[in-house]
Structure 1
């Protein structure tokens, strides 16, 4: 699946399994095992663009991420030994890819925060925190290819242009100034604004939204020069 918004940052960490030699007077540290590599990332999903009254449940999108948390029985471990069941379960492998960066592993944990709701109680926006892990220390080699330069006016990954509200301004005013007078309801919903006519001065508003009539989950905008983040089935490195 291709996510709606690129993450603002990625956190990659590496750790070794170490132990202290208790028989040594110098307590020398000995490395054991092959360690592991981890990736932490936060993704945002939002289906409020069509207006709170007509939008889907955002969990229709995040369920595709939750799929990678569901274990399935490993057929290779079926059978018994010494009268005890050897049945085990595995979660599917996952590849996270953003441009030239990719990470193969499994989804260790997923935290989903629902922070925008429709009037009839449907969650419209979710922030999903993912933690991936792979065995061993795998430091990706950067490619020598040049990154694509975004065109003038394009929004870079992880950066959203925001417009500050001034004294007495309304969502309708800001939408009209941006050339989107008919999209003010979608803009208010996207930004979680309950009263579009009463904005506190300095409130940052994302005006880069459009009203959507379709009830399908919105697709990521096709912006030339911007590479979208992809989650797809993958394999776990040995």
Structure 2
């Protein structure tokens, strides 16, 4: 089942991809407006003494890096957007809702050390049909609204993650060159094209090609129920 709200799931082992084995989770109040994906390619300059320039030598493609922002709101305006569990949490800790949610987020993401595994938690991001196995590299919190007593009522959270590619999963290139038959994807609430490209081709930068192939006039707002064609190999523009 697709997740309509972004959920961050914590696992105690890199092999625990089954939701039944999660050790904690955090669901955002409001889905992020933007998701920044950084796809780096590393080269080294040739070591040719006495010569200038030369062709860079390819070294590796590091894991993808992701950055997203979302808001934690304790003013009550988000009540209609909250899950039943979060509504109960808000009602029971109305005055300290933002503080309690920040504490929970830190516990789930493993901003500290998990004593059972002696490292921060292994994570998965679930949103729509998108799932990313990752670890967190930075958690920045900006408190931007307070009551008269100085209690925070709203906070902007910025999370940075790095993709975790476990053994046996293969690289992006082998996936792109696989002889799989054409696939079809039915758009669900919360789906965005870069995430669909990332899920099927392990490279979100293919979203423009998917938009062209499917003749999408507005790929930023695809209505639920639309069926997208996902060919076995999408060649990037030169």
TM-score w.r.t. the length of structure 1 is 0.49
Higher relative contact order (CA 8 A, sep 6+): 1
Structure of higher CA gyration radius:
1
Answer 1 or 2: which has greater helix percent: 2
